[in-house]
Each structure stands twice: as structure tokens, then as C-alpha cells.
A and B are shown apart, each in its own frame.
Chain A
Amino acid sequence: MSVTSTTTSKTSTTGTGEASGRRGLPHGDRRRREFTTRRGLTIAAFMAPAAVFVAVFTYYPVLAGGQMAFRNWKLTDLTDTSWVGLKNFGDVFADPAWGTVLGNTAVWVLGSIVPQLLIGFALALWLRRRFRLRGLYQALIFFPWAISGFLIGILFRWLFNSEFGVVNDLLQKAGLIDEPIAWLADPKTAMVAVLIANIWYGVTFFTIMILAALQSIPDELYEAAALDGAGKARTLFQITIPYIRTTLALTVLLRVIWIFNFPDLIFGMTGGGPNNETHIVTTWMIKITQQGDYGRASALGLLVVAALLVFAVFFLMATREKKGVRS
């Protein structure tokens, strides 16, 4: 909020500046100050509503929640909320299920992002050239984006139902399985089912972003490549991918952050079960919150923010460096 404070202290100069201007003595220095003050006021006034809402209803609760991470804060006993240092963080790591949760998180993020990127890229390449009904096609594959993660979880929970689920029925009809699979009750298949649901949901975002980037590549580049006799693979790796590298990197970054922070789908589909096998860090946090241990849940939350910030910085550095080497 430093914008607001600097502008209020300068408000008085506005009056004199305008007055001298009206008297027809345009002093260069004063004029510039008048201009910057007006500018500062405009910026502050236009930013204020957004800043106030986000500060009061997002950042204040987040910071207040953050300090709980260093306190004993359990719903079971609110009389003792003393400071306990890093104990909550220790409890997070000491939990016997923590290893499973971390492993699941890695599988969840990688198992979602890689297929989403590859399928999304392929769709974008094929959608680049106009064909009949392309607009309709794009609108249709866009639909998953209108549905909440929670509801997608419920949708696929029904599809993967062990008794009356259509997935088992189709697989049996195709002769791929003999007995119905208890997809969401079996630790081995539950994560696969959850990943399929997330891939269904997330491919479209990659398609949209990559398609837009592809359409910004000038046709001359491809014509030149064709004249040089470059094959499809070479064109893809030496022209298309380098050209849209920035978009690819930013989209992957954004998606990793969102997928990491996306407990909704798992919450609706398996609730983390069976036997914690689909719990990721953020659904684990929901579980601990529901158990009433706000201190430990906050510690987990801070770990998530820290991990994502570190990841974002390293990722941006790595992708930027590569670009520098190229050019």
C-alpha cells in the first residue's frame, strides 16, 4: 500500500501546481510534479478497490493462518494456543503416511502434466490448419473447463463405479477384462482412475494456449523449411518448438502450480482413499484441517507455498537460460 501513502503526502502540491499553471507561469519542474501527483492519485484510486478486497479477504486470512503454523492450535483445545516453534513442521514430517503422500503428489503432478502436455500439443498441431467444423470441434472439447474439479471427481466416481460403472462394462464388452475391477477401492488402480479424470479435464488448456502460440508462427518459416527439404520431425523440433518455447514454459509452470494446488477432483472422487493411496499434499491438508489440527494444517500450507515459489523461480531461471543460449 505504499502507493497510497506517497500520494496523500503529495496532495498539497497539486493545488499550488494547478494555481501557478493557471496564472500562466508554466514552470517546468512544477509542471512535472503536478503531472506525477495526478498520475499517482489516479493509480492509487484505480488500484484501491482491488487491493482492499484482496488484502482484507485473501492476504489477511492467509497471514493469520500462516502464524498458526508456529502455534499449538487445535479445535479440541482452544484454551492453549501457545507458540511451539517448528513442532508442527516436525509433526508433518514424522507422520508415517507422509512418504506415501509425497510420492502420490509426485505421481499426481507428473502423471497429469506429461499426458496433458503431449495430447494437448498433438491436438493443437492438428487443429492448426482449418477444416470443416473446426470451430464446433474446439467448442466441444472445451466443455470440461466449465465443470468444477469437485463435480468432475463425482462424474468419474460414477463412471468408475465397481458394480454399475460404465468403464467396467465397456472393458468387459471389449473383452479386455473378465471380472469387474474395483477401480477406486483397489490401491493399485485408484490413482490411475484419478489421473484419467484429471487428464480429461486438463488437456484443453494446453490445446488452447499452444494453438494460439502456433497461430503466431509466420508461414514463411515453414515455407523456408520446406524449401530446405526439412522433414516433419525436423520442422517440429527446429522451428515449431523453439518458436513457442516461452508459451510452453509459462503454460507448464501455471499448470504445475494449479495441479499441485488442486485437491478438488480427488476430494470428490476418492477423498484420498483407499488407504491414503490417492492423498496428495493438498488433500492431506484438508484431512488434517477436518481433524481440527489447524496448526499442522497451516504448516503444510506454508510448505506448499514455499515449494511452489522455489519451483517457480528455478523453472523460470532454467527456461530463461536456455533461451539466452539459443539467441
Chain B
Amino acid sequence: MTGKGSVAGRAVKFTFLGVWLLFTVFPLYWITVTSLKAPGDIFHFPLAYWPERFSLENYRGLFGTADFGTYLTNSLVVSTVAGVTATAISMLSAYVLARFEFRTKSALLMAALVTQMIPSFIALGPLYLLMTDLKLVDNRFGLIVVYIAVCVPFCTVMLRGFFENIPDALEEAAMIDGLSRFAALFRVLLPVMRPGIIAAFIFNFVNCWNELFLSVTLMNSDSNKTVPTALNGFISSFNIDWGSMSAAAVLTIAPTMLLFAFASRHIVQGLTSGSVKG
């Protein structure tokens, strides 16, 4: 860390960084190339590292024979609504946990941490029965409600870190001006918190977009499936059709990658602001 470092040191550094970058990007490159090959060319030797014949056949199949458009829409609706709602709810709880001292506070934080330790499968059976009683099985609204509960604990902890970095003089001034605490939170803190809120929303959205086991359990009919559930269906059959699987993988990854690219700085800040204190 001292000085500029020797030439040899820098060579090692950039070689390592370069190798890691290749290693990180290559699987994504490969699945994309696979998806763009003409059917049959995937199983052609020698393996082509660049498609000899470009083809969108794999993608066409997804929207023709499979109903991938419906799955994408379902995932988009469920993840957006659950992500927005969970962020709003977590803002309230995070605000209180950042600004007030009270007896049950550490117990509540502990309860949030413990949710991370529980294997989701322990709850699947009872959750299914509960959702049946509520008539929310195989129902997008039902899945949204469950996803909100999944997102809230981690989102609360994350947003709490952001609130702690904002001086409370800000909303106190607003409250002296006659605003209620709730109004102060939304009119004064919301604009300042924008990076944190964006990061929290994206985190929630990606979590819901990627969630598999709850969605497999709760969504039965084809018209209600989300993308991960559909992908799981592709596997369950005896042979994986790698052509359509790779195309489906690209379509599943692309939206979340775009979101991450758009907001990676905010997300980094969101992950680190709460826990890193030197």
C-alpha cells in the first residue's frame, strides 16, 4: 500500500484483476452465445465460441411453444408491487429503529436477524395451509403479500443504516414548522434518502424476481407462474433443452443486470452504510 508499487507488483495486480474479470464475465458470455446459436449448432463439434449462424429461434420458441411472456409479466408485476410496498413499509420501521431508543428495540432487531437463519422449507407446509384458508393460493396478490414479508427484515436493516447517516436536525426543523412526524418523514427525508430508497427497492425487486421455492409452492396454474418457477419446470422434464433454457436464462438475467448496472453505486452504499463503521 506504500508508494506506487513496483512494476512487477503492478503486473501481478492487473493480471489478477484481469483473470478475475474474465472468470466473472465468461459464464454470462457463454450462456448468451449459446442462446443465439441456431438449433442443433449447440451440439456441434468443435464448440463454436462465436455463433456461426446467428438465430433467434430459441427466443421465438419461448414465446411460441412456451408462454414465456406471461411468466415475465407475472414476475414483473409481483416483483414491482412487492418491492415498492416492502420498501415503503421498511422505511417506517427503519426510521423508528434508527431514531428512537425503546425497550423492545434489540428484540425486534434480533427477530429480523433470525429470519435470515431460518431455512424457508420449514415454513412451506403451514404457509400453504394458511394461504389456502385465506383463499390466496395460486393468486398473484397472495404471492405479493408473502414476498413483502420476505423482503421487510433485510430491507429494514439496510434502510436503518441510511437513516443513521442523516442528522435528525433535518426533520426536527420541519416538525417545529408544524409538520407531523409522518409528514416530515415524507416531505423532508424522502428526497435526501433517494439513493438509499432506490437501492432498497432494487434489492427487494431482485429478491422477488429470483425467488423460487415459495413461488413453486404457491403458484399452481400455468397462467400464474413466475419466471423461476417456469425455469424449474424446464428442468423437471427428463432432458434439459439447453437452447430454450439458455434463451430463458438470458431473458431472466437481463432485467436485473440492467437494474444493477444502473444503480450499482447506490447498492454498494446500501450494503455497506449500515455495517461498516471503521
Q: Is the interface of A mostly helix, strand, loop or mixed?
A: helix
Q: Is A252 on the interface with B (CB-CB < 8 A)? A: no
Q: Which residue of B lies closest to A309 (CB)?
A: B117
A128 to B47 Cα, complex, angstroms: 39
Q: Tell me, rounded to whole Å, the shortest Cβ–Cβ distance linking A148 to chain B.
A: 3
Contact call B275/A151, Cβ cutoff below 8 A: no
Q: Tell me, rounded to whole Å, the shortest Cβ–Cβ distance linking B137 to chain A.
A: 13
| Chain B residues whose C-beta falls within 8 Å of the C-beta of A213 in the assembled complex | 272, 276, 278
| Chain A residues whose C-beta falls within 8 Å of the C-beta of B34 in the assembled complex | 158
Q: Is A325 on the interface with B (CB-CB < 8 A)? A: no
Q: Tell me, rounded to whole Å, the shortest Cβ–Cβ distance linking A313 to chain B.
A: 11
Contact call A122/B90, Cβ cutoff below 8 A: no
Contact call B257/A126, Cβ cutoff below 8 A: no
Q: Is A312 on the interface with B (CB-CB < 8 A)? A: yes
A250 to B121 Cα, complex, angstroms: 26
Q: Tell me, rounded to whole Å, the shortest Cβ–Cβ distance linking B169 to chain A.
A: 18
Interface size class on chain A is 35 or more
Q: Is B21 on the interface with A (CB-CB < 8 A)? A: yes
Q: Is B96 on the interface with A (CB-CB < 8 A)? A: yes
Segment at the interface with B among A23-31, A41-49, A84-92, A101-109: A41-49
Chain B, range 1-54, C-beta contacts under 8 Å to A: 1-3, 13, 16-17, 20-21, 23-25, 27-28, 30-31, 34, 42-43, 46-47
A73 to B129 Cα, complex, angstroms: 14
A141 to B261 Cα, complex, angstroms: 11
Q: Is B228 on the interface with A (CB-CB < 8 A)? A: yes
Q: Is B173 on the interface with A (CB-CB < 8 A)? A: no
A283 to B275 Cα, complex, angstroms: 30
Please give the residue numbers on chain A whose beta carbons come within 8 Å of chain B beta carbons, in ascending order.
Answer: 2-3, 39-40, 42-43, 46-47, 49-51, 53-54, 56-62, 64-66, 68, 73, 119, 122-123, 125-128, 135, 137-151, 154-159, 161, 163-164, 166, 169, 200, 203, 205, 208-209, 212-213, 216-217, 222, 225-226, 232, 235-236, 240, 243-244, 246-247, 250-251, 254, 257-258, 261, 263-264, 268, 282, 285-286, 289, 294, 297-298, 300-302, 304-305, 308-309, 312
Q: Can you list the 7 inter-chain pairs with the closest CB atoms, starting with the nearest?
A: A148-B210, A301-B122, A64-B126, A57-B149, A61-B123, A212-B272, A50-B93
Q: List 5 A-B contacts (CB under 8 A).
A: A50-B89, A126-B17, A209-B275, A251-B275, A261-B117
14 additional A-B pairs beyond A50-B90, A143-B257, A159-B30, beta carbons within 8 Å, are A3-B102, A50-B93, A57-B145, A57-B149, A58-B118, A61-B125, A68-B125, A161-B242, A226-B3, A250-B275, A258-B116, A289-B124, A304-B118, A308-B117
